[in-house]
Amino acid sequence: MLKDRLVAHRGYQQLYPENTLLAIEKAIEAGAHYIEIDIQFSSDGVPMIYHDATLKRVSGIHKDVNRLTAGELVQLTACEPKRFGDQFSDVKISRLSDVLPLLKKHPEVTLFVEIKEDGIYYLGRQQVLDAIHDVLHPLIGQCILISFDREFILLAHQSGWPSVGVVVESWSDLSLSSLKAIHPDYLFISHKKIPSEGLLESNSSAELVVYEIGTAEAAVEWFRRGADMVESFNIGGLLHDLSHRAL
């Protein structure tokens, strides 16, 4: 099924501010079954839905996310002023816990929860895992933990998290022994890090997710080469443009 091969990158990022409840909700409305979000941590250790370690790009503020409490962060806009001006000035930063009602309402949706390395460095792997588990355990079956930090994902796997994934920095990383020890269910990789020609072959049984893919033509080509899924800021556009194409 097409919807099971496309991942909404930071929600419906092309049309709405990334990593906001609005972008997530609009991705679901567009038909997304898989959505990726990013997690940073507040100064009081609360997981927040946010990509950058600093607040400048998305919120227009010269501060680090981990310098403010969760209570302070949720008062701030997440409007991406350089992209959208003041169009979404009323859209705020959200806690990870804020997404649970949407997930509960839409059991067909699976969330890839990417733990940014900044939070891991700030709090430590075990504290981060505990904080994420405390929030997501009611709907853990709908939530897949992913990260560039392989040791964190190994810890999550060993702790019994049902499904995990690793974001790799290069194609050669797929052969690392440290990656094989994790037995990830998903491997995420930028299309820029993949050899320009040939079929995508690896020794892993994990689903291969290629990002950032913006057009239907590019998605079809990556599927032809062997990608299991593609991740896109333009989830609505891809779902529409691919709906009548054989994959």
Dump pLDDT digits (tens) for 160-219. 999 999 999 999 998 888 888 899 999 999 999 999 888 998 778 899 999 999 999 999
Q: Provide the CA 107 distance to its chain's centre, in angstroms.
A: 18
Residue 17: which pLDDT band, with cuts at 50, 70 and 90?
Answer: very high
Q: According to the model, what pLDDT value does residue 246 have?
A: 64
pLDDT tens by residue, 21-50: 999 999 999 999 999 999 999 999 999 999
Q: Cα separation of 131 and 184, whole Å?
A: 21
pLDDT tens by residue, 49-73: 999 999 999 999 999 999 999 999 9
Q: According to the model, what pLDDT value does residue 247 have?
A: 63
Sequence-distant contacts of 143-147: CB under 8 A, at least 24 apart:
143/103, 143/110, 143/111, 143/113, 144/110, 144/111, 144/112, 144/113, 144/185, 144/186, 145/113, 145/115, 146/36, 146/112, 146/113, 146/114, 146/115, 146/186, 146/188, 147/114, 147/115, 147/116, 147/117, 147/120
Q: According to the model, what pLDDT value does residue 43 have?
A: 98
Q: According to the model, what pLDDT value does residue 81 have?
A: 98
Does pTM surpass 0.75? yes
CA dist list (Å): 86 to 22, 52, 61, 76, 100:
15, 20, 14, 13, 27
Domain boundaries, the chain: 2-54+98-242
The full DSSP string for 8-36 is EETTTTTTS-TTSHHHHHHHHHHT-SEEE
Q: Which CATH class is domain 2-54+98-242?
A: alpha beta
Q: According to the model, what pLDDT value does residue 148 have?
A: 98
State in Å, rounded, how far the first CA of the chain is from the last one. 9
State whether residue 95 is helix, strand or coil: strand
pLDDT tens by residue, 115-148: 999 999 999 999 999 999 999 999 999 999 999 9
Spatial neighbors of 95 by CB under 8 A, at least 6 apart, are: 46, 47, 48, 49, 70, 74, 135
Which of the 8 DSSP states describes residue 231?
E
Q: Are 108 and 31 in contact (CB under 8 A)?
A: no
